[in-house]
């Protein structure tokens, strides 16, 4: 009988836990893992809330919150716009993408909700007639909202607009990021290809345009200058192009 008791004791205290205890240990490990996941997610949400809260605060003077400016146009001492690229969240930042261009009206700048697109250039005719160029074509401000303009007759050309100069409600010129058909003309209520200056292997070496009238305009870029005489665009020699032999 004593031998049987010793065998029973060895089996009981052999270091092996009963299956019930093993299940309990596994359950505790799972609960601890879930708690860690909840703590991590809670920390990320708190950080996102902190960023969102700070974003709603008014920026310090001189700082533009949520906008990387690309162009400014002042129509008068009381009217103007700043446009650019909107806000795109990075990793672990749960704020939504947004573009809020800045409108200057009667002495103060106001954020205006705008399409989620990179505004690259700007030309104003009046407070309710503003044109902007983007990599996705033209956008127009009618005094209330920004809307995408129809591609017009240049729909098979590049839609990336890099420079813009409006003469009137009925006419304007723009430069597109393209090998050819890089001069766009707004006439008759729509945009169309207005010329093609081949400036070598570069993608539209022209970078800026300024129109004086319907028969007088200038465009400039990398070692190139072009003039419009009311009929056609042509390259013009300058001291820079002559010096570098371009």
The domain that contains 160 carries what CATH number? 2.130.10.10
Domain closes at, from 31, 58, 85: 58
Q: What is the pLDDT along the chain (246 residues), one digit of tens a residue?
A: 545 544 444 444 445 555 555 666 667 777 787 788 777 766 655 555 444 444 444 444 555 656 778 899 999 999 999 998 866 555 555 555 567 788 999 889 988 888 888 899 999 999 999 999 998 889 999 999 999 987 665 665 667 898 999 999 999 999 988 766 788 999 988 888 887 776 555 555 678 999 999 999 999 887 778 899 999 888 887 776 554 444
Evaluate if pTM is beyond 0.95: no
Tens-place pLDDT, residues 41-87? 666 555 554 444 444 444 445 556 567 788 999 999 999 999 988 66
pLDDT at 163: 92
Residue 9 lies in a domain: no
User: Could you tell me if 207 and 91 lie in one domain?
Assistant: yes
Domain closes at, from 29, 58, 87: 58
User: Could you tell me if 94 and 161 lie in one domain?
Assistant: yes
- Please report, for residues 103, 105, 107, 110, 140, the alpha-carbon distance to residue 76 in angstroms, rounded to integers and kept in the order given: 12, 10, 11, 16, 19
pLDDT at 58: 47
User: Could you tell me if 108 and 141 lie in one domain?
Assistant: yes
User: Could you tell me if 78 and 52 lie in one domain?
Assistant: no
User: Could you tell me if 106 and 135 lie in one domain?
Assistant: yes
Domain count, the chain: 2
Residue 6 lies in a domain: no
Residue 193 lies in a domain: yes
Domain with 43, as residue range(s), is 19-58
Tens-place pLDDT, residues 33-48? 778 877 776 665 555 5
User: Could you tell me if 51 and 127 lie in one domain?
Assistant: no
DSSP letters for 104-139? EETTEEEEEEE-SS---EEEEEETTEEEEEETTEEE
User: Could you tell me if 141 and 180 lie in one domain?
Assistant: yes
User: Could you tell me if 110 and 164 lie in one domain?
Assistant: yes
Triad 120, 93, 53: Cα angle to 5° = 90
3-state secondary structure string across 163-207: EEEEEECCEEEEEECCCCCCEEEEECCEEEEEECCCCCCCCCCEE
Residue 14 lies in a domain: no
pLDDT at 75: 94
pLDDT at 160: 86
Domain closes at, from 58, 78, 108: 58
- Please report, for residues 118, 203, 235, the alpha-carbon distance to residue 196 in angstroms, rounded to integers and kept in the order given: 25, 12, 11
In angstroms, the CA 4 to CA 139 distance is: 94
User: Could you tell me if 95 and 198 lie in one domain?
Assistant: yes
Residue 130 lies in a domain: yes
User: Could you tell me if 36 and 156 lie in one domain?
Assistant: no
User: Could you tell me if 129 and 176 lie in one domain?
Assistant: yes
User: Could you tell me if 116 and 214 lie in one domain?
Assistant: yes
């Amino acid at each position: 009988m004593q031998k049987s008791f010793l065998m029973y004791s060895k089996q009981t205290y052999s270091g092996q836990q009963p299956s019930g205890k093993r299940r309990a240990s596994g359950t505790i490990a799972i609960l601890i893992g879930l708690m860690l996941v909840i703590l991590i997610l809670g920390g990320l949400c708190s950080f996102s809330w902190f960023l969102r809260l700070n974003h709603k605060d008014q920026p310090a003077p001189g700082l533009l919150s949520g906008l990387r400016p690309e162009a400014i146009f002042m129509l008068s001492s009381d009217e103007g716009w700043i446009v650019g690229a909107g806000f795109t969240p990075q990793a672990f930042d749960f704020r939504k993408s947004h573009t809020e261009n800045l409108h200057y009206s009667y002495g103060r700048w106001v954020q205006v909700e705008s399409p989620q697109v990179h505004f690259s250039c700007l030309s104003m005719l009046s407070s309710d007639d503003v044109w902007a160029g983007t990599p996705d074509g033209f956008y127009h401000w009618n005094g209330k909202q920004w809307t995408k303009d129809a591609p017009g007759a240049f729909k098979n050309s590049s839609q990336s607009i890099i420079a813009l100069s409006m003469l009137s409600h009925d006419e304007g010129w723009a430069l597109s990021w393209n090998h050819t058909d890089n001069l766009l003309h707004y006439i008759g209520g729509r945009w169309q290809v207005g010329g093609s200056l081949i400036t070598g292997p570069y993608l539209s070496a022209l970078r800026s345009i300024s129109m004086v009238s319907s028969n007088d305009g200038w465009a400039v870029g990398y070692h190139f200058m072009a003039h419009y005489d009311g009929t056609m665009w042509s390259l013009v020699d300058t001291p820079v192009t002559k010096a570098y032999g371009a």
